[in-house]
Amino acid sequence: MVGAPARYLVFFQYFGTRYSGVMETKSDQALVGVQNYLEKAAQNLRPSVPIKFHISSRTDSGVHALANAAHLDIQRAPGKAAFSGKQLVQGLNYHLKPEPICILSAQRVPSTFHARFCALSRTYIYRLLLGCAHYSQIPVFERDLCWAPAGGPLDISAMREAAKFLLGTHDFSTFRSLSSETPFRCPVRTLLQLEIQPAPGFLSHHNRGLEFWEVKFKSRSFLYRQVRRMVGALVAVGQGKLSPQDIQELLEVKDARAFPPHAMAPPSGLFLKSVEYSQADLAAPSAPAEEELCGLS
């Protein structure tokens, strides 16, 4: 008799520049998704049934992850024990070489745990580099890992004043890009945290005269390209192109077409930092249907 598959929660990171995003794409594209490589590696574990990664947080082409999450079910041949978390990490990482993708951890979870719907919050950081008069001044080891806005210093105080308007629960319609899913997704989100803080570069002692800043966002979920639009608008405030009150007015308009053209931040500076879960959800008996998972309906 074949037993039930084992479900795992895995955390993984990747350098996003080489991929079309995290989600699976057709394999004949020039750039494919991180998920393509994860599932190809998983098939080398010789499961009885093909393994599907159900990813917590979608990221676009060029966006990086310090720790994204996914769940997967593994059905092994009769008589073979379920993988331990350590075995799964080692096996997947072996078959992911030489891609810049790494499995950080894996653990068994209840059969109805869902990596997307059970997430309590997601945290993103956006890295800004100030002090570059030209792209050539961006340190080699920072290229594709930050955004160096043109135009000199930013007014950080004005940016922090503008950020206060974004905190809390709002209709973020103006701060989302339109997509095929737009008509079906509620634009109301609660931004739990928005901080703008100085940060070290990877080799800051070699990069005198340059300043690194991080913009940190935390919410249960985000709209399509919401973080990049918020960063772009805040940088426009820092450059004096928008006022802090303009951010409030953009929120109140509730229209994606009202967003200033060319103000969206590029993907290179964006990192998914973490996905948080309740320990109770990782161990508790599961709900009877997916739409009831972790209190969602």
Catalytically active residues, by annotation? 60
**Is the Cα dihedral 104, 226, 60, 186 positive or negative?**
positive
What pairs with residue 22 in β-bridges? Answer: none
- The per-residue DSSP string of 24-69 comes to ---TTSSS--HHHHHHHHHHTT--SS----EESS--BTT-EEEEEE
Angle between helices 156-166 and 244-253 (to 10 degrees): 30
**Is the Cα dihedral 89, 60, 71, 45 positive or negative?**
negative
175 near 265, Cβ under 8 Å? no
| Tokens linked to 132 | 């570059």
